[in-house]
């Protein structure tokens, strides 16, 4: 008789998720109803293997089980049982329905409190932008909720961990905590539910309601929780709450992961759930990687263990056969090397989808260089940077510039350079020089409207070309006609119309441009959620709403998670991404390229002066000072997890790119470079590729 509960753990690539899918199929074959099963994942995108399995033609028809995150369960529960908790939680209008905030709309409300604090000079003692204050304060709210802390604990923990090293920091912690309290009070007064408040209400109030307990336990009888190591501490509380009334439970844990620690994940706490289970299975046999790559992971484990660093492990193969490396003097030489090797792999028959190019951070210049060079070779390429602000995407920036030009009554005049860049993007015949020339002639921040192409000097018209001029005139007239319309439309309608009626039409720059189409679709969805959340009953003057939205985007609005962006991985294209973004896709490929291995960014975490991912953890002692040694240890542990995670998700071969001088021209000697050098020294032959800077 199979055990009622099992805990499956092991590194990536050992078949744990495949086993979980087989477990679901076995439950179905045994007569379990699919609607009585719950697949719990820490992030929606990590449920993709289950979605693909359920869509397979061999899967029983209609046997779709529920795939959800804890946040998703919280929202569903609050939508149904709101009257049970609203008054108890202190909402000012418990009889009215709540409004659920996205990351973006939460930023909108928080921005008002932040701007007032910045004007008052409260944050002058720390180098941080208003957008970062807003983002890190919202992050602290989330950390409190997912750890089960009171809001007052956040500042106390941060101050205690700081240890009085600098007198200016504690007041800043208190100021950020005060912003969090103001935001929470505003939410309670206006029936607004951001992520943190949804989790708090669900864990503190709704789970304690007998009516909801009955509902949940009648709905779900089987639990499958995957990627537990990426889950929040309160997920363990939820599992324990549901445990005794389940007919079966399967918990899946990756022993080498925990990449969402920065977002509040608690790998150590999740592993303790194994004590609930009747059976513990340990899987350590990799099903995806080659013997040299298995040997490479063993070498990495040895080098990150001080007591074993002087020992030589028993390896199944030479780890040097698992990777190719090349050292270059200058950064552009490394880019050339990557392009040549990617092209060679594809010429040899490798599918572009089986190649990823990874860096610690994927900046604009690096992405542009890789994308343009690969596309020149006819190689399809996609990229994803989920933490990137909306305004930083070129296609979105172009659309926002045109939005400002369409609303001269706002009194916001974009710079000439932005207008030139927008025209260059949307009119293919305009190269940067022609776009700059046209923008200088037809646009001035002192004028309300764009000038006509028809009245400029003939010699300038010839330089710009009449084809480009004709497309410019059509775009200009569209903007004028829109401004003259008497009926105002919401911001998402305007963006959708401009894109659909002009920019995506044949002959314009976004026609057939899938990457631009995806970005604009996300911008439209963002504007739609903004409108629906803040103005559910509509308004008389939508142009004022449009301006509020554009202002927020220009301040640095951080895009919410759009699942469509993560589904792009199904395309047959080379994937460019930051290393952690790739890991969170939980995807395997045949070939990986690691760029800029000498960079210290592989090792360092982002400076966040108003928050701290380790101090704001349930496992961290409340009065413990955070020391430099602890910082170094945490960085080493993260680098270790990162390298193992990447290596285990590579089936065939790694390519390691090194540049002595980084993108900014500085010499690079980061810890990852030292690790790779030690592996080379410990495992001589085959020899490295020659240094192309001297060849």
Domain assignment present for residue 182? The answer is yes
Closest CA to 517 of 504, 508, 498: 504
Collapsing DSSP to helix, strand or coil, 6 comes out as strand
340 with 439, same domain? no
Domain count for the chain: 4
pLDDT of amino acid 307: 65
400 with 509, same domain? yes
Range name among 94-98, 522-526, 660-664 with the lowest pLDDT average: 660-664
Q: What is the DSSP letter of 499?
A: I
pLDDT at 164 over 80: no
Domain assignment present for residue 515? The answer is yes
List, for residues 566-588, the tens digit of each pLDDT value: 455 557 889 998 998 888 888 89
Residues in the chain: 695
CATH of the domain at 344: 3.40.50.300
377 with 401, same domain? no
Collapsing DSSP to helix, strand or coil, 651 comes out as strand
Confidence of residue 168 (pLDDT cuts 50, 70, 90): confident
Alpha helices in 358-415 (DSSP H): 364-376, 394-406
213 with 178, same domain? no
453 with 541, same domain? yes
Q: How many CB atoms are closer than 10 A to CB 250?
A: 24
Phi/psi at 10 (nearest 5 deg)?
Answer: 165, 170
pLDDT of amino acid 681: 85
Tokens of 416: 């000439």
CB 320 within 8 A of CB 679: yes
CA distance linking residue 65 with residue 83, whole number of Å: 28
pTM score, whole prediction = 0.85
List, for residues 241-299, the tens digit of each pLDDT value: 999 999 999 999 999 888 888 888 999 999 999 999 999 999 988 777 888 998 898 88
Collapsing DSSP to helix, strand or coil, 75 comes out as helix
pLDDT of amino acid 335: 93
Domain assignment present for residue 86? The answer is no
CA distance linking residue 653 with residue 354, whole number of Å: 11
Domain assignment present for residue 435? The answer is yes
289-304: b (≥16 Cβ within 10 Å) or e: bbebbbbbbbbbebbb
pLDDT of amino acid 19: 94
pLDDT at 423 over 90: yes
pLDDT of amino acid 514: 76
655 with 573, same domain? yes
Q: What angle do CA 17, 19, 21 make, to 5 degrees?
A: 70
pLDDT at 390 over 80: no
546 with 397, same domain? yes
pLDDT of amino acid 690: 44
Phi/psi at 202 (nearest 5 deg)?
Answer: -65, -50
List, for residues 87-114, the tens digit of each pLDDT value: 999 999 999 999 999 888 898 899 889 9
List, for residues 596-614, the tens digit of each pLDDT value: 888 888 888 878 889 999 9
Measured between alpha carbons, how far is residue 28 from residues 31, 35, 250, 458 in Å?
5, 10, 15, 75
Domain boundary among 159, 186, 201: 201
Average pLDDT over residues 410-424: 92
Confidence of residue 124 (pLDDT cuts 50, 70, 90): confident
Q: What is the mean pLDDT of the chain?
A: 88
Average pLDDT over residues 157-182: 88
Domain assignment present for residue 691? The answer is no
Confidence of residue 679 (pLDDT cuts 50, 70, 90): confident
List, for residues 474-485, the tens digit of each pLDDT value: 999 999 999 998
Average pLDDT over residues 498-515: 90
List, in order, residues 6 or more apart from 187 with CB less than 8 Å away: 101, 109, 193, 194, 197
584 with 661, same domain? yes
CA distance linking residue 507 with residue 505, whole number of Å: 6
553 with 446, same domain? yes
Confidence of residue 306 (pLDDT cuts 50, 70, 90): low
| Domain range enclosing 162 | 95-201
Q: What angle do CA 522, 528, 532 make, to 5 degrees?
A: 145
Confidence of residue 82 (pLDDT cuts 50, 70, 90): very high
CA distance linking residue 266 with residue 397, whole number of Å: 37
Confidence of residue 330 (pLDDT cuts 50, 70, 90): confident
CA distance linking residue 299 with residue 320, whole number of Å: 10
pLDDT of amino acid 312: 63
Domain assignment present for residue 625? The answer is yes
105 with 217, same domain? no
Domain boundary among 179, 201, 223: 201
Confidence of residue 688 (pLDDT cuts 50, 70, 90): very low
Domain assignment present for residue 630? The answer is yes
Domain boundary among 176, 201, 226: 201
423 with 513, same domain? yes
Confidence of residue 695 (pLDDT cuts 50, 70, 90): very low
pLDDT at 1 over 80: no
Average pLDDT over residues 24-53: 92
Domain assignment present for residue 351? The answer is yes
pLDDT of amino acid 693: 41
409 with 444, same domain? yes
């Amino acid at each position: 008789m199979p055990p009622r509960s099992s805990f499956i753990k092991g590194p990536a690539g050992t078949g744990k998720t495949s086993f979980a899918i087989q477990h679901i199929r076995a439950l179905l074959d045994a007569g379990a109803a699919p609607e009585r099963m719950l697949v719990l994942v820490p992030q929606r995108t990590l449920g993709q293997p289950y979605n693909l399995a359920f869509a397979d033609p061999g899967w029983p028809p209609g046997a779709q089980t529920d795939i959800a995150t804890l946040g998703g369960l919280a929202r569903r529960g609050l939508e149904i049982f709101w009257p049970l908790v609203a008054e108890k939680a202190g909402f000012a209008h418990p009889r009215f329905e709540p409004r659920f905030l996205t990351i973006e709309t939460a930023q909108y409300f928080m921005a008002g409190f932040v701007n007032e604090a910045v004007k008052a000079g409260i944050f002058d003692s720390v180098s941080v932008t208003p957008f970062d204050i807003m983002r890190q304060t919202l992050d602290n709210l989330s950390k409190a909720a997912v750890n089960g802390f009171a809001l007052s604990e956040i500042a106390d923990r941060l101050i205690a961990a700081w240890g009085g090293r600098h007198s200016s920091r504690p007041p800043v912690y208190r100021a950020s905590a005060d912003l969090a309290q103001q935001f929470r009070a505003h939410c309670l007064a206006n029936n607004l539910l951001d992520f943190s408040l949804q989790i708090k209400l669900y864990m503190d109030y709704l789970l304690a309601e007998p009516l909801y307990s009955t509902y949940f336990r009648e709905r779900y009888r089987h639990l499958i929780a995957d990627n537990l190591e990426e889950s929040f501490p309160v997920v363990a509380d939820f599992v324990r709450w549901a445990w005794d009334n389940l007919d079966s439970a399967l918990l899946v844990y990756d022993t080498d992961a925990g990449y969402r620690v920065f977002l509040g994940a608690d790998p150590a706490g999740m592993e303790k759930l194994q004590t609930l289970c009747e059976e513990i299975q340990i899987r350590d046999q990799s099903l995806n990687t080659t013997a040299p790559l298995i040997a490479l992971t063993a070498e990495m484990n040895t080098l990150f263990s001080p007591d074993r660093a002087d020992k030589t492990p028993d390896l199944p193969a030479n780890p040097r056969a698992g990777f190719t490396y090349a050292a270059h003097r200058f950064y552009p030489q490394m880019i050339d090397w990557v392009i040549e090797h990617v092209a060679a792999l594809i010429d040899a028959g490798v599918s572009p989808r089986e190649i990823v190019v990874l860096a610690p951070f994927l900046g604009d210049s690096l992405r542009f260089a890789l994308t343009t060079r690969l596309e020149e070779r006819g190689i399809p390429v996609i990229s994803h940077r989920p933490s990137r602000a909306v305004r930083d995407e070129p296609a979105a920036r172009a659309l926002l510039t045109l939005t400002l030009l369409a609303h001269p009554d706002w009194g916001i005049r974009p710079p000439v350079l932005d207008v030139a860049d927008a025209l260059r993007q949307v009119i293919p015949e305009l190269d940067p020089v022609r776009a700059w020339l046209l923008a200088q002639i037809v646009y001035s921040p002192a004028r309300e409207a764009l000038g006509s192409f028809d009245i400029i000097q003939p010699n300038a018209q010839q330089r710009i070309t009449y084809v480009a001029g004709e497309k410019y005139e059509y775009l200009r007239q569209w903007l004028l006609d829109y401004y003259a319309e008497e009926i105002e439309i919401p911001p998402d309608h305007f963006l959708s119309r401009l894109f659909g009626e002009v920019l995506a039409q044949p002959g314009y720059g976004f026609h057939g441009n899938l990457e631009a189409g995806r970005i604009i679709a996300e911008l439209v969805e963002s504007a739609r959620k903004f409108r629906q959340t803040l103005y559910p009953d509509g308004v008389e003057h939508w142009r004022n709403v449009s301006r509020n939205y554009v202002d927020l985007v220009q301040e640095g609005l951080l895009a919410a998670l759009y699942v469509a962006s993560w589904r792009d991985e199904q395309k047959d294209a080379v994937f460019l991404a930051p290393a952690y973004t790739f890991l969170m896709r939980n995807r395997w490929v045949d070939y990986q390229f690691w760029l800029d291995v000498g960079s210290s960014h592989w090792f360092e975490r982002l400076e966040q002066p108003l928050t701290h991912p380790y101090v704001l953890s349930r496992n961290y002692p409340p009065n413990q000072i955070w020391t430099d040694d602890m910082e170094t240890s945490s960085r080493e542990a993260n680098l270790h997890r990162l390298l193992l995670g990447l290596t285990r998700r590579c089936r065939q071969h790694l390519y390691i790119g090194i540049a002595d001088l980084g993108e900014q021209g500085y010499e690079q000697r980061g810890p990852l470079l030292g690790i790779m050098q030690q592996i080379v020294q410990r495992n001589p032959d085959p020899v490295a590729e020659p240094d192309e800077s001297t060849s």
